[in-house]
Amino acid sequence: MGEARRRKKLDSNYGKLPSLKISGGRDRHINKILDDLYSQCESELKTLINAKKTPDNYQLLRDSIAGCLENIMSKYREEDREIIAHYIVSVFSTMSENYNLNPIGVLCLVEILKSYLPSLYEKVKSTLKNPPREFSDLSDELKKIILIS
């Protein structure tokens, strides 16, 4: 019992949520995270996903989504946050590829989640300065990197 109290003091989320490293809890919680993200940032996400070019209010949209994501991520263990970040980027990149959308939404999520995905961010940060208009316009190498994330 002492060990549980010690861990609870070190991590306020200890015991509240199952680890996402266990596959049984992963799908349910990641789907809930996506639902929470969408419900909290629906208009911002729609604006980015449907944009034909980088929106004029990109920084405002990015900051709003970042606030939502930080609020959501703070509920999970540190080691689970990387799993969540990979899954979020994967879902949005697959959607962008399937519908050949502007990749600015995916690139924005990578930028927001860079503390959890530093190697992916390093590979795509130059593309953030001048993003292509459609997902199909990304280099094959970059598409592969983003989709595998």
Q: Report domain extents, the chain.
A: 35-148
Q: Which tens digit of pLDDT belongs to each residue from 61-93?
A: 999 999 999 999 988 888 889 989 999 999 998
Q: Which tens digit of pLDDT belongs to each residue from 104-115?
A: 899 999 999 999
Query: Hey, what amino acid is at 113?
Result: L
**CA-to-CA dists, residue 84 to 40, 64, 92, 116, 137, angstroms:** 17, 18, 12, 9, 27
Residue 148, pLDDT score: 64
Residue 88, pLDDT score: 92
The HSE-up count of residue 63 (CA atoms within 13 Å, CB side) is 4
Q: How confident is the model at residue 17 (pLDDT cuts 50, 70, 90)?
A: low
Residue 38: both structure tokens together: 């969408």
Query: What is the pTM for the complete model shown?
Result: 0.80
Residue 73: both structure tokens together: 């991520």
Residue 120: both structure tokens together: 């992916």
Residue 25 has pLDDT above 70, yes or no: no
